[in-house]
Structure 1
């Protein structure tokens, strides 16, 4: 069993919950946070029922509040010491036509996904780094969950992709900036994942009770991985010290095609876009 400490954000549901439970099963001591206190309590109950690992702290934090995030990180370190690993999973999904997407939805998804990630850096990076680490120094881990949408051109994902692509770009810099100071940075690019976000996702201007939309969601869920599978892929990728962690082969293939077979990639994206337009046709809200 591992006796390391880890922070997990977004631990109330979906990937964050599954990741927290998986780490607890491995014997981790955990600090869990989310904006949903009831969901956090449910995760704690599941971990305690398993009888493995240990929850050191449970805290409701809004990751869009920079002061709250930094204060929480400082207090956590002051009371429990520097965590070995930080997994930032919390995020939201908002899709829509870029021509009509309301400004407040652009800012909301960027505030949560991108600026929330920035706040995690501001809160933890200074604590995780070590001056002049040696070969014997235990390397710490800083892990961010981005998305396949941060890499490939999925239809109606402009705002969401801006937020997740920003996380990828930030991590690309941090991996080199923090490596000499004893911190390994990892970024995860999940594809389709069957989380509660599937039923609560905001698709701007689209009636989600429409039959075509419901059919598309069923197809998505049939193709999607479970949060438990994604959590296992994240842990495996971090253990293998992979920087960019794909949790499904289709996204790894899409990334390869984007670089090495651009004609095939462009054709696939055109088909996806056409399919999305078909789904949205007749489901537009007035």
Structure 2
């Protein structure tokens, strides 16, 4: 029987890695003995974070929707650390707009809808398609395993709320492409898994009033609090280490089911 793989010694590329769930993932990878490439926008805190984490971390300023940017980030992983074992897609954006505002007689902006779809779905796919080319060069282990892709969807893919048409559609797209991409990449020994987080204490939620944060936390059955990004990062490393988890979407949400 095959033993579990270890994050120790892996090289991971994390999009949206300068903040929120991505930052927690980068920090845990480095703490567990892996190397990490932070892929985030040039305006992010990527440089500062990479410097604080030491020589096993570096920053690749990039837009996930740019082929050239992502190719450069993958090349940086190879040049700096010699390989790429893991790609974690945390980059994403959201808008909160109803399909039609009847009070103002204004429809949802098609530009905003398209932008969310482009960043969240096409950006995720862009990273996958370019990262796996580098992973395919890795020497396989006894199982034929060469690498792992971990995507970030959301419970909004299943429980989309009012005003979340664009965001829910984008996260549903990530859920929907998990299995077919896992099947596409199976012959090369590359796994694909998606995490669908619930309510987490990310910078987005941290900007809300304390009263609102407390209200949201109470909606979570158990534990009745916002998720800690470190818990997301823990699941990422667990998935990276367990070779039998493939083609699956895992809800990480304290059993919440979002109301309209």
Find the residue that maps to 1:186 and give its secondary structure.
Answer: strand
Q: Write out per-residue CA displacement over residues 42-77 of structure 1, whole angstroms, 9 at most, x where no aligned residue.
A: 3224423xxxx711x311101122332234324543
Q: Return closer, same or farther for 1:133/1:42 CA change in 2, 3 Å cut-off.
A: closer
Query: Would you say 1:249 and 2:254 are equivalent positions?
Result: yes
- Quote how far apart the aligned CAs of 1:151 are: 2.4
Q: Return closer, same or farther for 1:237/1:122 CA change in 2, 3 Å cut-off.
A: closer
Match of 2:159 among 152, 173, 189: 152
Match of 1:28 among 25, 34, 38: 34
Q: Return closer, same or farther for 1:16/1:47 CA change in 2, 3 Å cut-off.
A: same
Query: Would you say 1:188 and 2:190 are equivalent positions?
Result: no
Q: Write out per-residue CA displacement over residues 84-107 of structure 1, whole angstroms, 9 at most, x where no aligned residue.
A: 111111111212211132222112
Q: Give me the whole-angstrom Cα distance separating, in 2, the residues matched to 1:170 and 1:15.
A: 21
- Quote how far apart the aligned CAs of 1:219 are: 1.6
Query: Would you say 1:165 and 2:172 are equivalent positions?
Result: yes
Query: Would you say 1:9 and 2:15 are equivalent positions?
Result: yes
Query: Would you say 1:220 and 2:222 are equivalent positions?
Result: no
Q: Which runs of 5+ in 2 are unaligned?
A: 1-6, 101-106, 219-224
8 A contact 2:136–2:146 mirrored in 1: no
- Quote how far apart the aligned CAs of 1:145 are: 0.8
8 A contact 1:92–1:109 mirrored in 2: yes
Q: Return closer, same or farther for 1:85/1:106 CA change in 2, 3 Å cut-off.
A: same
Query: Would you say 1:41 and 2:43 are equivalent positions?
Result: no
Moved more, 122-131 or 6-15: 122-131
8 A contact 1:11–1:43 mirrored in 2: no
Q: Return closer, same or farther for 1:195/1:125 CA change in 2, 3 Å cut-off.
A: same
Query: Would you say 1:107 and 2:108 are equivalent positions?
Result: no
Query: Would you say 1:64 and 2:60 are equivalent positions?
Result: no
Find the residue that maps to 1:94 and give its secondary structure.
Answer: coil
Q: Return closer, same or farther for 1:139/1:157 CA change in 2, 3 Å cut-off.
A: same
- Quote how far apart the aligned CAs of 1:139 are: 3.3
Q: Which has the higher contact order (CA 8 A, sep 6+)?
A: 2
Query: Would you say 1:118 and 2:125 are equivalent positions?
Result: yes
Greater helix fraction, Structure 1 or Structure 2: 1
Pairing of 1:82-101 with structure 2 (within 5 A): 82-99=83-100, 100-101=107-108
TM (norm. structure 2) is 0.80
**What is the aligned-residue RMSD (CA, Å)?**
2.7
8 A contact 1:70–1:119 mirrored in 2: no
Aligned length: 239
Q: Return closer, same or farther for 1:72/1:42 CA change in 2, 3 Å cut-off.
A: closer
Q: Which runs of 5+ in 1 are unaligned?
A: 201-207, 255-268, 274-286
Aligned to 2:235: 233
